[in-house]
A and B are shown apart, each in its own frame.
Chain A
Amino acid sequence: MAIEISNYISMAIRSALPILICGIGLVFGSRAGIVNIGAEGFMLIGAFMGVVGSYLFSSAWIGVLVAMLSSMLISLIFAYFTVTVKADQVVVGMGINMLAIGLTTTLFRRLFGMNTEPIKIESFSPLAIPGLSDIPILGTSLFTQHAPAYLIFLCIPLASFILFRTDIGLKVRAVGEHPRACDTVGINVFKVRYGAILFSGLMAGFAGAYLTLGLLNFFVEDLMAGRGYMAVAAVVFGKYSPVGVMLAALIFGAGDALQYRLQAGGSVIPYQFLLMIPYVLTILAICGFVGENKGPAAMAQPYIKE
């Protein structure tokens, strides 16, 4: 029983991580007034380039680095069209998602061919923290994660601090609330929004790479399964704060792990209904908690300088 609980918690955390990592980046984007539906595409690019990087350089960490840089490049396109050209953020985001599917499918076929044998890549292996990992249940589930997991959980207080206690965070939040006022006091709205979007891209790339190099250990064309959209939902559900996103991601991860658990346990419920759990949870989360917090005032509005 203890082992099962420990396995379940461990699985929940692992499933939550891609959503969490991507979500931290999206918090900054959202706070700056950007609705980033394109996160799904950013993450897919990261997932693919992570595999490519790890394959070429035989190192999962270099894979992550390649993924982050590639996603940031794609997010630059998003930033140009939404901030400079002032195009509709949702529409451009969907365009980016379609572009990412097209690009990764084309390149995957071109680079790795159609061979059915999975390609060998370096992926992350669990890293037990000496001492802590010996604690029953909590220790084995919390402290035998992959190395990036620890890094991310350490990043959350840092992200909170930056967002709520520093000058950069203040600028990001102000730009999302009242870009016109920011402009008058000399804050460069465009620059802040570009920065927030690029940071979202960077983190989405990390999230994607974790998905392929930590969670799944392979790349298939439809591996995203809406995780990027869930990250967007987690930001709303988590009330636009890093800690909130962490809780939201953990709830979604718990749903995902529950579905694995029930499938493995031979549940009487048809597996398709189990697969629906994370999506139903996301809808419930959005419906139950959106009303209280509307998010930044200038959400989704392009800023037009006078």
Chain B
Amino acid sequence: MESKTTRSKVLSSLSTASFPVLAVIAALVIGAVLIFILGLDWRLAYKSLLQGSLGTKKAIAESLVKTTPLYFTGLSFAIAKRCGLINLGAEGQVYMGGLFAAFIGLSFAGLPRYIHLPLTVMMGFIGGGLLGLITGVLKVRFGASELITGIMFNYIAIKLVSFFVTGPLKEPGDLDQTAIMEVSAQIPRIIENTRLHAGLIIALLCLVFFYIFLWKTTSGYEMRVVGMNRGAAEYSGISISKNVLLAMALAGGFAGLAGCCEVIGVQFRLFQDFSPQYGYEGLPVALLGNSHPVGILLSGLLFGVLKSGSNTMKMLAQVPVAVIQIIQALVIIFVAGREIYNLTKLLRRNKQLEKAGGMNGN
């Protein structure tokens, strides 16, 4: 009997590790079937996807450029999740981070980089963090679910950025965009002749911070207790409101950094629709990574690679870029529905037990 429980424990921990891999494989297989149904060559599609994302040094750098914002938005979902919240407002927070960074990045010409750059990054964090905090306040004060208010703020933030780049921050000329950020506010590139910038290092530091904060500090511990069991947290005197506010502010701040790094690290300008859904894509990153820093490190990279290879896939295999979105969506659904895996396992075990029972009877 004892050996059986140990065995099932080992089995269950094995399945925890292998499950995300299975979910991704299943999503890729369905993606291939879909490409086949569209009358296109799925082998060529996946080959060009890999070639476009990992084929050359430049391609790898570009994949990391696409991975960076996903780390930030993945963390945004993860920290909210750890506190029992779902931050669907990450997209708006990305935009607010970009907007606030642009305010600082466009002004204070002549400021030394070691002051200007950190200041701009900080403002990016604050921009997103403020929107997250407002969402948290509405939840704590009025009981408004962060789901709906978060999504509504996404639309509002996107329109606010649109107002600024077509109005007060618009550079003279035909295009609706700001001027180029001051050089002292630009994040330096890590590898020459690529767009890979030091924002990746900020993202990695955030992953480390996330781990230390949640698992090595008292506030982080309290936040996890609130996330795991609200009743128990309240009973042991942990303030739910305080933790909800802190988690939402941090979640917004992380997402804000994604927008900030896009503006001062990749584009050097702010313009309309500058985030291709980075906010929403944080959800599959955090989910697949089980809201754990190592998991996010890996899943962010996976989705960065998929995203960066999708253009080559479109060029060489004529597969629409949106197929990647379908694959992402399937990953979300499969990971969320991980119980399927356990269900089939349970069925199999039941069958085996029946069999064993039958033999005993004989």
Q: Hey, which bits of chain A sit against chain B, CB under 8 A? A: 35, 37, 77, 81, 85-88, 90-92, 94-99, 101-103, 105-106, 109-110, 225-226, 229, 232-233, 236, 270, 272-273, 275-276, 279-280, 282-283, 286-288, 290-291
Measured CA separation A204–B280 after assembly (Å):
22
Q: Hey, which bits of chain B sit against chain A, CB under 8 A? A: 34, 38, 86, 88, 138, 142-145, 147-149, 151-156, 159-160, 162-163, 166-167, 280, 283-284, 287, 320, 322-330, 332-333, 336-340, 343
Chain B residue, CB-CB nearest to A287: B142
Measured CA separation A106–B326 after assembly (Å):
9
Chain A residues, Cβ within 8 Å of B163? 270, 272-273
Chain A residue, CB-CB nearest to B339: A85
Q: Are A286 and B149 in contact (CB under 8 A)?
A: yes
Chain A residues, Cβ within 8 Å of B162? 272
Q: Are A276 and B142 in contact (CB under 8 A)?
A: no
Q: Are B328 and A229 in contact (CB under 8 A)?
A: no
Q: Are A226 and B151 in contact (CB under 8 A)?
A: yes
Secondary structure of the B side of the interface?
helix
Chain B residues, Cβ within 8 Å of A283? 138, 144, 148-149, 152-153
The total of Cβ contacts below 8 Å across the A-B interface reads 139
Q: Are B159 and A275 in contact (CB under 8 A)?
A: yes
Q: Are A81 and B336 in contact (CB under 8 A)?
A: yes
Chain B residues, Cβ within 8 Å of A276? 155-156, 159-160
Q: Are B148 and A91 in contact (CB under 8 A)?
A: no
Chain B residues, Cβ within 8 Å of A77? 333
Can you list 24 contacts pairing A with B, beta carbon distance less than 8 Å? A35-B147, A81-B337, A86-B339, A88-B336, A92-B332, A94-B332, A98-B325, A98-B329, A99-B333, A101-B325, A102-B327, A102-B329, A103-B326, A105-B322, A106-B320, A106-B323, A226-B155, A270-B167, A279-B152, A279-B156, A283-B149, A287-B142, A287-B149, A290-B143
Chain B residues, Cβ within 8 Å of A99? 325-326, 329-330, 333
Shortest Cβ distance from residue B316 to the other chain A in the assembled complex, whole angstroms: 17
Q: 5 tightest CB-CB pairs across the interface, nearest first?
A: A95-B332, A102-B325, A99-B329, A102-B326, A105-B322
Chain B residues, Cβ within 8 Å of A96? 329, 333
